[in-house]
Amino acid sequence: MIWFVITAAILAIVTVFCLVRAQRSDKEIAPIVAQILFWLLIPLVSNTVLALSNNPDVCRFCYTVYFISTTFMLFYFAQFAVKFCNYDKQLPLIRKIMAGVVALDVINLILNYGLHHVFQLSVVDGAVTFESLWYHKIHLVLSFLLFGVSLGAFIIKCIRTSKLYRDKYIVILFASVVTSAWELFHVFTNENVDQAIVGFSICGIFIYLYSLEYVPSVLMDEMKKTVLATVSDGILFFDENRECIYANSAAKLMLGMGINETANGFEKLLSLTGEDREESAHYESKSLTCTKIEDGEEYIYDVELHKLHDLQGKRIGSFAKITDNTERTKRENLNRYLATHDKLTGIYNTDRLYDSIREVLQNNPDKEFYVVASDIKEFKLVNDRYGREFADKLLIRIANLLKDKAASSTTRYGRIGSDKFGCLIEKSVFSEDTFISAMKEVPNIDRNLVIPIIMHVGAYEVEDKNMPVSAMFDRAFIAIAGVKHEAEAKVAYYEDDSRDALLWDQKVTEQLDNAILTGQIVPYLQAQVSREGKVVGAEVLVRWIHPEEGFMPPGRFLSVLEKNGMIGKIDQYIWECACRILRRWSYEGRDDLYLSVNISPKDFYMMDVPSIIIALADKYELDRKRLRLEITETIMMDDIDEKLKTIDRLREAGFIVEMDDFGSGYSSLNMLKDMPVDVLKLDMIFLNDTAHNERTKKIMSLIIDLAKSLDVPVIAEGVETVEQVDFLAKMGCDFFQGYYFARPVSLDEYEKKNLAAS
Ligand code: C2E
Ligand code: CA
Ligand code: CA
């Protein structure tokens, strides 16, 4: 008996230790384990007391407590088994049934004090003997049933689970089976003290160990192996002599090792990293990127090498990790390409172009550069007329031309807008001719189709290399803006005043409407006189009296308005002013004076000039002869038939049409024959020349003679001296206009001078 007491005491101490640890554990199953251990302690203690005591009352209490606590212990053991074996789903139901059984059993065991239906104690030879009654049998059956639940759960789990895990279930199952056999033995031998409780305690300790402490080392090993085998990185382990002791399949594949080869792992790794054995011994860890070419394919690997040490710092080996970055690198390269290149043409996009230009400028502080931009005139029309696909082809063609011509290492080019391209070129290799010939090549998309597009190029010579690249291109585009109306491919250069000119253009364009409305645009009149010195009429010349700029002659703003197509507005306004003046003069009885107005060649493109002028003359009820119309010969540059018809319409309507600036540019004597005009205005250029040039005089004389023969009167412009008046008169000139007689003056002044006098 003494050995039982000692064993029980030791087991009790161990159980208490396990109980404390179980209570501290944060595992989910720990509270159930703690319950088992707690309810195990009580039968251990009560059986020890039973072994030592001969007092029937004490023994009765100990038996009762022992039976109740084993019932609870088995109750929790069953719950543990179900949970530990992962049959949680069934747990609530099983727990309810079991709780009912336990409650009934406990009540019966307590009632034994009054009913004496569980057991009886008698004292024989001073020793207490135990007699089992009918309910004790039932209690035993219930206990074995509870126990059976646990065994069942463990048996099923052992059959189903992986070999790796089976250990922990088998140990508990085995201990439980042995204990139950022991308990059966006790039941049949009817010993006073239940020595099987020792088995239960050992079972409890196993339960604690396997559920809360134990992680099978085989499981860890297996897991490590499986993880290493399945990761996509290559992993190699080397011992202290750098013999390869493990290489996973990824590593073998990357290093070209056979599937069963391991020993040559280190040599294979060195051939990838390009190191020699000696070199690789000298560092603790290292990362490097390696490339391998195999069957024409390039592979990119990141290799990490680490030496391994034990806790004392002694080297136990090393390991290498190889990551295949081929795909990632390709993807990154592709993304980088897409982010920096234009999708359509494949050349640099704006951001990349600007960055690369910045780099070149920074790296070449001693060199001189041009920033060059190109723009297609009315690209939108190309899109509309030929379709998007064709327009795309055109842009690709420009990109390819840029590629072909960019010979220098410092040249950078890219696409910086829908139809705009840009490049940086060293001044020493920049050639205007190359650009012009390239621009002329662009429209020849194929042999059968040459489309009428015009490209302009603007160049800015980089003076301040620190200026933002975008500002450099702004300047190149300003240069283009200055020539964008020109019909021929051209390289325009940025000059500081290009910018001012552009700003001026914008200002004039924006302010014109308001200037007309507020009376800033006014007609000035310059008298025209006859050979006898009599004022016969006047030319109406526009002036802009600007609130900030002051008095502006037409030279400052008309070219802008001709460029942007607004010339018609100002002309119509001046024509109407002229009509209004004539109307008033008519009321005042001055029907003898005419006014001649200028019609810009551009007006004929924008509007139906005859209809407008006829409508104006009608509105003011004018004698149409009193409104003279000055047309320059430049209108005859194209659509000659159309223009001739227009002039005819005006003349047939009763207006006098004068040919202005005759002799200034394109004039030929032939033209005079063809052009149906009423008056010829000799350009002042002749007069500037005549002082020194007899030849010019002869030409003038010829023109005047020719006009005479056609019955066309001649008026000379720009007459400044009496000598000029004399020789012009001698040649047969009929009328004069010029500073010699009068400068252009305001209406008021003109009227004061000419109307009052007569
Ligand atoms: P234009 O039609 O040849 O007009 C004659 C120009 O010669 C005027 O310049 C006039 O002031 C100037 N002039 C007259 N006599 C002399 C002289 O003895 N010596 C010199 N050196 N110059 C003289 P302005 O007024 O500056 O006009 C310049 C041009 O602007 C005009 O040349 C005409 O082509 C255009 N223009 C003026 N007003 C209008 C207008 O209302 N509509 C249109 N479309 N053009 C106009
Ligand atoms: Ca004129
Ligand atoms: Ca003129």
Helix (H, G, I), strand (E, B) or coil at 454: coil
Strands 234-238 and 244-247: antiparallel
Q: Which stretch of DSSP H or E encloses residue 315?
A: strand 315-324
Cα–Cα nearest to 659, from 633, 635, 638, 634: 633
Ligand 1 atom closest to 599 (CA): 44
pLDDT value, residue 749: 96
Q: For residues 263 and 236, what is the distance between their CA atoms, to the nearest angstrom?
A: 11
Range 2-214 classified under CATH 1.20.1070.10? yes
- DSSP run (H or E) holding 392: helix 388-405
Ligand 3 centroid to Cα of residue 560, in Å, is 19
Q: Is 193 helix (H, G, I), strand (E, B) or coil?
A: coil
Residue 228 sits at the vertex; the CA angle it makes with 226 and 231, to the nearest 5 degrees, is: 100
Helices 567-587 and 496-517 pack at an angle, to 10 degrees, of 40
CA 571 distance to own-chain centroid: 50
Q: Is the CB of 739 under 6 A from ligand 1?
A: yes
Residue 348 tokens, joined: 């640099």
Structure tokens at 698: 């002869």
Exposed / middle / buried, residue 20 (Cβ in 10 Å: 0-12, 13-18, 19+): exposed
Mean pLDDT in consecutive groups of 10 residues from the start of the chain, 758 residues: 87 93 89 93 91 90 93 90 79 82 91 90 86 90 88 86 77 86 85 84 88 72 81 88 88 88 87 80 84 87 89 85 90 91 92 94 94 88 84 89 83 91 92 82 69 85 90 90 77 82 88 96 97 95 96 93 90 97 94 95 92 96 96 81 91 95 69 82 79 78 89 94 92 95 96 79
Under DSSP, is residue 302 helix (H, G, I), strand (E, B) or coil? strand
Whether the Cβ atoms of residue 236 and residue 265 lie closer than 8 Å to each other: yes
> Is residue 720 within 6 Å of ligand 1 at its C-beta?
yes
Measured CA to CA, the distance from residue 654 to residue 656 in angstroms comes to: 7
Query: How many Cβ atoms sit within 10 Å of the Cβ of residue 563?
Result: 18
Q: Is the CB of 481 under 6 A from ligand 1?
A: no
Alpha-carbon dihedral angle through residues 640, 646, 647, 649, given to the nearest 10 degrees = 150
Evaluate: CB of 553 within 6 angstroms of ligand 1: yes
> One-letter amino acid identity for 398?
I
Report which of 280, 258, 268, 284 is spatially closest to residue 236, judged by C-alpha positions: 268
pLDDT of res. 634:
81
Name every residue whose Cβ is closer than 8 Å to that of residue 404 and which is 6 or more positions away in sequence: none
Q: How close is the Cα of 544 to the center of ligand 3, in Å?
A: 19
Measured distance CA(43)–CA(63) in Å, rounded: 9
528, 539, 541, 722: residue to mutate for ligand 1 pocket, most atoms within 8 A of CB: 541
Contact 258, 285 (CB under 8 A): no
Alpha helices in 565-721 (DSSP H): 567-587, 603-606, 609-619, 640-652, 669-674, 685-690, 694-709
Token reading at 167: 């250990």
Three-state SS for 414-427 is EECCCCCEEEEEEC
Write down the pLDDT at residue 631.
93
pTM of the model: 0.50
- Report the topology of domain 341-494: Alpha-Beta Plaits (3.30.70)
Atom 20 of ligand 1: nearest residue by CA position: 718
H/E element holding 437?
Answer: helix 432-441
Residues 6+ apart with CB under 8 A from 46: 62, 63, 65, 66, 69
CA 603 to chain CA centroid, nearest Å: 47
Nearest of 703, 711, 602 to residue 661 by alpha carbon: 703
**Which residue's alpha carbon is nearest to atom 33 within ligand 1?**
598
Protein fold of 220-330: Beta-Lactamase (3.30.450)
Greatest pairwise CA separation for the chain in angstroms: 179
For 293, the 3-state DSSP assignment is: strand
- Ligand 3 center from residue 573 Cα (angstroms): 20
Measured in whole angstroms, how far is the alpha carbon of residue 283 from the centre of its chain?
42
The answer to whether 197 and 12 are in contact (CB under 8 A) is: no
CA–CA separation, 56 and 64 (whole Å):
12
Query: For the chain, which residues make up each domain, given as ranges?
Result: 2-214, 220-330, 341-494, 512-755
Element (H, E) at 511: helix 496-517
Cα–Cα distance, 363 to 10 (Å, whole number): 85
The residues whose Cβ lies within 5 A of ligand 3, an ion, are: 660-661, 717
Helices (H), 291-369: 326-340, 350-363
- Token digits for 271? 């051939």
Dist CA 495 CA 444 (whole Å): 32
CATH class of domain segment(s) 512-755: alpha beta
Strand 521-530, strand 745-746: pairing: antiparallel
Angle (CA) 231 237 238, round 5° = 165
Q: Cα dist. 108→62, 117, 143, 237, 258 in Å?
A: 16, 8, 14, 66, 73
* Helix or strand run (H / E) with residue 545: strand 535-546
- Token pair listed for 116: 């004496």
Q: Which residue has tokens 């069953």?
A: 78
Q: Is 725 in the pocket of ligand 1 (CB under 6 A)?
A: no
**Is residue 551 packed enough to be buried (19+ CB in 10 Å), middle (13-18) or exposed (0-12)?**
exposed
| Cα 751 from chain centroid (whole Å) | 69
Q: Is any atom of ligand 1 closer than 6 Å to the C-beta of 596?
A: no
**Residues with a beta carbon under 5 angstroms from ion ligand 2:** 598, 630, 660
Tokens of 95: 């727990």
- Euclidean distance between CA atoms 553 and 505, whole angstroms: 15
